[in-house]
């Protein structure tokens, strides 16, 4: 086995990433595609961005006239979504902050969210998920040996954000996803369609004896209903403004007493155990390659620094890893042997179980064709 896989000469993606190709200069297809697709965000002048942002803010304000809120901002406690909330308020919007608590929040995340909404004077809606039911669903995903255990959180969070927007007649959900820090395409097989309600239900049915009672799932048809009947748009608003993570983190710390996490998405204890331990150990996937690679390709981090970072343990310390491991075992009610057994088992693809991915892809194709024939982009 090649223990030193070829690494892209521009970013840090390597030969182990599914579907990667290298050109004659040793530059990979991931960063090349990213820089091409995100041109409209990365190569736009500050003035052009400012104009686009103004236009967008006016639209949100107009659509929200006479309503309690004019937008929903989903907050996780992470830097990206926290910054969206700050900017929304500064730009004169009236956001409702929405958070989904799945029982795995780190204390840091709780602290960050509370400090932020308090000093901004923003209403916060927190959906606290039924823990017993959620644990059963997680257990089912582990028993199913599928890779995207976070599909559960992401799907429920999407559902809760859309439901709150619909409840208040809000047309805009402002999201923290952005091209500058996470624009590089997720490699096929590293995650799964986040709107796959059918997959969640099928795996739950197969591996648990309990039915889904309160889990706020969202599927393809729900999404299209929210989008076209309720007219709700999901906008990656950070793409409309200059966005430098280092700078923003400093601002959040200075102005809101924000406490940083060592890596992206580490605001949840499960997420950091999943990304920092389960994914690399069981699935041979290190998502830091994607996150750090995007920062390098977009010029926010040097390649040398990213490679040095990548060489370290995907945890702030070995002690933290052991702490999280114990926390995970206790919270899931697992023994060490159960974890070892799970880690040793082979991965099963999501589509080995019933899935609505083909339906989603068909709907997406149809939607794109309609937009194209209507002269849209
Ligand atoms: Zn590359």
Convert the pLDDT of each residue in 5-19 to its tens digit: 799 999 999 999 999
Question: What are the start-end ranges of the H helices in 14-102?
Answer: 29-37, 39-42, 46-63, 79-90
Residues 249, 236: Cα–Cα separation, whole Å: 18
Residue from 10, 17, 14 nearest 32 by CA = 10
Residues 157, 326: Cα–Cα separation, whole Å: 26
Residues 36, 125: Cα–Cα separation, whole Å: 38
Look over the chain and give the mean of its residue pLDDT values, rounded to a whole number: 92
Residue from 57, 110, 83, 48 nearest 181 by CA = 83
User: What pLDDT, on a 0 to 100 scale, did the predictor assign at position 262?
Assistant: 64
| Bridge partners (DSSP) listed for residue 101 | 128
Residues 171, 60: Cα–Cα separation, whole Å: 8
**Percent of the chain at pLDDT above 70?**
96
Q: How far is the CA of 13 from the centre of ligand 1 (A)?
A: 5
Q: How far is the CA of 184 from the centre of ligand 1 (A)?
A: 9
Query: Taking residues 233-258, what's their average pLDDT?
Result: 91
pLDDT band at 2 (very low <50, low <70, confident <90, very high): very low
Residue from 52, 204, 218, 222 nearest 140 by CA = 204
Query: Taking residues 230-246, what's their average pLDDT?
Result: 90
Q: Which residue has the higher pLDDT, 167 or 41?
A: 167
pLDDT over threshold 50, residue 261: yes
User: pTM of this prediction?
Assistant: 0.91
Q: If you ran DSSP here, which 8-state letter would residue 55 be given?
A: H
Q: How far is the CA of 312 from the centre of ligand 1 (A)?
A: 20
User: What pLDDT, on a 0 to 100 scale, did the predictor assign at position 1?
Assistant: 39
Q: How far is the CA of 34 from the centre of ligand 1 (A)?
A: 9
User: What pLDDT, on a 0 to 100 scale, did the predictor assign at position 374?
Assistant: 77
User: What pLDDT, on a 0 to 100 scale, did the predictor assign at position 278?
Assistant: 97
Q: How far is the CA of 239 from the centre of ligand 1 (A)?
A: 21
pLDDT band at 265 (very low <50, low <70, confident <90, very high): low
Query: Taking residues 231-245, what's their average pLDDT?
Result: 90
Query: Taking residues 142-159, what's their average pLDDT?
Result: 97
Contact 189, 230 (CB under 8 A): no
User: What pLDDT, on a 0 to 100 scale, did the predictor assign at position 314?
Assistant: 85
User: What pLDDT, on a 0 to 100 scale, did the predictor assign at position 367?
Assistant: 86
Residue found under tokens 């209903």: 225
Phi, psi for 250 (deg, rounded to 5): -60, -45
- 34, 195, 226, 235, 375 from 365: Cα distances, Å: 21, 16, 18, 20, 15
User: What pLDDT, on a 0 to 100 scale, did the predictor assign at position 243?
Assistant: 84
Query: Taking residues 218-242, what's their average pLDDT?
Result: 94
Q: Count CB-CB contacts under 10 A for residue 310.
A: 16
Q: What would the two tokens of residue 196 be?
A: 């796959």
pLDDT over threshold 50, residue 377: no
| Bridge partners (DSSP) listed for residue 70 | none
pLDDT over threshold 90, residue 163: yes
Query: Taking residues 242-270, what's their average pLDDT?
Result: 84
Q: How far is the CA of 349 from the centre of ligand 1 (A)?
A: 26
pLDDT band at 153 (very low <50, low <70, confident <90, very high): very high
Distance of CA 72 to the CA centre of its chain: 16
| Bridge partners (DSSP) listed for residue 128 | 101
Distance of CA 369 to the CA centre of its chain: 27
Each residue's pLDDT tens digit, 354-365: 999 999 999 989
Q: How far is the CA of 167 from the centre of ligand 1 (A)?
A: 43
pLDDT band at 263 (very low <50, low <70, confident <90, very high): low
Contact 217, 150 (CB under 8 A): no
Q: How far is the CA of 263 from the centre of ligand 1 (A)?
A: 20
pLDDT over threshold 70, residue 375: no
Give, for 97, the enclosing helix (H) or strand (E).
strand 95-101
Each residue's pLDDT tens digit, 294-353: 989 988 899 999 999 999 988 878 998 999 999 999 999 999 999 999 999 999 999 999
Q: How far is the CA of 9 from the centre of ligand 1 (A)?
A: 7
Q: Is the dihedral of CA 337, 338, 341, 343 positive or negative?
A: negative
Query: Taking residues 281-304, what's their average pLDDT?
Result: 92
């Amino acid at each position: 086995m090649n223990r030193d896989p070829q690494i892209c000469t521009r970013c840090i993606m390597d030969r182990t990433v599914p579907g990667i190709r290298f050109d004659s200069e040793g530059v990979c297809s991931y960063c090349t595609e990213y820089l091409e697709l995100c041109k409209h965000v990365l190569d736009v002048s500050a003035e052009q961005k400012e104009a686009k942002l103004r236009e967008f803010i006016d639209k949100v304000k107009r659509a929200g006239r006479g309503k309690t809120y004019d937008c929903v901002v989903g907050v996780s406690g992470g830097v990206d979504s926290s910054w969206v909330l700050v900017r929304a308020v500064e730009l004169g919007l009236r956001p409702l902050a929405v958070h989904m608590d799945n029982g795995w929040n780190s204390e840091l995340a709780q602290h960050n969210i509370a400090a932020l909404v308090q000093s901004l004077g923003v209403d916060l809606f927190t959906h606290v998920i039924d823990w017993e039911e959620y644990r059963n669903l997680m257990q089912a995903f582990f028993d199913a040996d599928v890779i995207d255990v976070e599909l559960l959180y992401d799907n429920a969070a999407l559902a809760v954000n859309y439901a709150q927007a619909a409840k208040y007649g809000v047309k805009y959900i402002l999201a923290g996803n952005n091209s500058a820090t996470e624009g590089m395409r997720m490699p096929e097989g590293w995650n799964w369609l986040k709107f796959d309600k059918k997959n969640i239900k099928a795996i739950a049915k197969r591996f648990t004896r309990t039915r889904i009672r309160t889990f706020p799932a969202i599927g393809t048809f729900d999404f299209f209903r929210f989008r076209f009947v309720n007219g709700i748009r999901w906008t990656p608003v950070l793409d409309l403004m200059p966005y430098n993570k280092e700078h923003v983190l400093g601002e959040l710390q200075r102005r809101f007493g924000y406490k940083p996490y060592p890596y992206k998405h580490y605001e949840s204890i499960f997420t950091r155990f999943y990304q920092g331990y389960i994914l690399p150990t069981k699935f041979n996937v290190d998502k830091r390659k994607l996150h750090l690679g995007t920062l390098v390709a977009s010029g926010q981090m040097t390649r040398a620094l990213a490679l040095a970072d990548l060489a370290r343990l995907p945890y702030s310390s070995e002690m933290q890893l052991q702490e999280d491991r114990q926390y995970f075992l206790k919270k899931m009610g697992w023994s060490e042997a159960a974890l070892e057994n799970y880690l040793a088992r082979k991965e099963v693809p999501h589509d080995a179980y019933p899935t609505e991915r083909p339906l989603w892809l068909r709907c997406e194709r149809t939607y794109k064709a309609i937009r194209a024939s209507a002269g849209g982009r």
